[in-house]
Amino acid sequence: MLAHMNAEALEKSVASGEAHFWSRSRAEIWHKGATSGNVLTIREMRIDCDQDAVWLSVEVAGHGAACHTGRKSCFYRKIEVDEDDRIVLRATGDAPLFDPHDVYTK
Amino acid sequence: MLAHMNAEALEKSVASGEAHFWSRSRAEIWHKGATSGNVLTIREMRIDCDQDAVWLSVEVAGHGAACHTGRKSCFYRKIEVDEDDRIVLRATGDAPLFDPHDVYTK
């Protein structure tokens, strides 16, 4: 998954050892897994060369799924070009591990 | 590495099979590796659940380094907390594969 952190989210992530992000749509700190139970416990945290991106290696609690669609990964579709030169999205086969309708009730 | 794509960069990446980005600092399409020779040939391209992030699996030409510092990865430093509770950056040991001063002359 890819998500945004602000300074507070980064600080909370480092202090707690659990991934926190900044929800731009809700304009609030987002403790990943607070609703779904799929908390991300940080095993390793890296920062990039120009220090504007952070990479987390995590252990996923609960269903073992980081994506709100119920899948382990948000990147469950490949971008490919078909025989008619059209760009198509193809499933990788990464099946949902939970039903979002059961988990997110609002 | 993490970089931005606009629609044109994504189109050029799909059409050419080589990673193109949008350079926000130079405000131009950036064919990764045009200067350094470290072209990224795309092996697999995925898109995320809300379709605002693309993940590329690539083969790196030239020095085999994606980072402008000469390293394979831009994420060559770990964020850790030391014994005095201070946040520190520690090298992962990912050594430069080229000297940026030899490659980027401007």
pLDDT tens digits along B58-83: 999 999 999 999 999 999 999 999 99
Proportion of chain A above pLDDT 90, given as a percent: 93
A46 neighbourhood in chain B, CB within 8 Å = 75-79, 92
Does the beta carbon of A88 lie under 8 angstroms from any beta carbon of chain B? no
Contact B49 A69 (CB under 8 A): yes
Q: Are A82 and A51 in contact (CB under 8 A)?
A: no
Q: Are A39 and A23 in contact (CB under 8 A)?
A: no
**Is 0.95 exceeded by the ipTM?**
no
A105 DSSP 8-state letter: -
Q: pLDDT tens across B20-32, in order?
A: 999 999 999 999 9
List the single best residue of B10, B25, B42, B49 to mutate versus A (max A Cβ within 10 A). Answer: B49
pLDDT for B105 equals 75
Q: pLDDT tens across A9-26, in order?
A: 999 999 999 999 999 999
Chain A (43-72) residues lying within 8 Å, Cβ to Cβ, of chain B? 44-50, 53-55, 67-69, 71
Does the beta carbon of A6 lie under 8 angstroms from any beta carbon of chain B? no
Nearest to B57, CA basis, from B71, B44, B48, B46: B44
Q: Which residue has the tokens 């799924």?
A: A65
Is pLDDT at B106 greater than 80 in this prediction?
A: no
pLDDT for A12 equals 97
Is pLDDT at A106 greater than 80 in this prediction?
A: no
Pairing of strands A54-60, B87-91: unpaired
Is pLDDT at A61 greater than 90 in this prediction?
A: yes
What is the spatial distance between Cα A36 and Cα A19, in angstroms, rounded to a whole number? 14
Distance of residue A74 Cα from the nearest chain B Cα, in angstroms: 5
